[in-house]
Copies of this chain bind each other. A is one copy, B any other.
Amino acid sequence: MGYKVEVGISNKHLHLSEAHLAALFGAGHKLTVKKELKQPDQFAAEEVVDIVGPKGTLKGIRVLGPCRKESQVELAQTDARGIGLSLPVRESGVLDGSPGVKLVGPAGEVTLDKGAIIALRHIHLSPAQAQEAGVKDKDWVTVKASGSRPLIFEKVLIRSGDTHLRECHVDTDEGNAAGLKNDDTVEIIGKSE
Using a CB–CB cutoff of 8 Å, the interface residues on chain A facing chain B are: 76-79, 89, 121, 148-155, 170-174, 176-179
Contact = CB atoms under 8 A, between A and B. Distances in A.
B76 A148 contact: no
B179 A176 contact: no
11 contacts: A77-B176, A78-B78, A89-B148, A121-B149, A151-B153, A151-B154, A152-B154, A170-B177, A171-B177, A173-B173, A176-B177
Contacts of A177: 170-171, 173-174, 176-178
A178 B170 CA distance: 12
A176 B149 CA distance: 15
Contacts of A178: 177
A175 B54 CA distance: 22
Contact of A76 (B78, B152, B171, B174): B78
Contacts of A78: 76, 78-79, 172-173, 176
A55 to B, nearest CB: 13
B89 A149 contact: yes
Given A78-B172, A121-B149, 11 more contacts: A77-B176, A78-B78, A78-B79, A78-B173, A149-B155, A150-B154, A150-B155, A151-B154, A152-B152, A173-B176, A173-B177
Contacts of A179: 89
Of A79, A89, A150, A155, chain B has the most CB atoms within 10 Å of the CB of A150
A139 to B, nearest CB: 16
A79 B81 CA distance: 12
A152 B155 contact: no
Contacts of A172: 78, 173
A3 to B, nearest CB: 18
A77 B179 CA distance: 9
Contacts of A154: 150-152
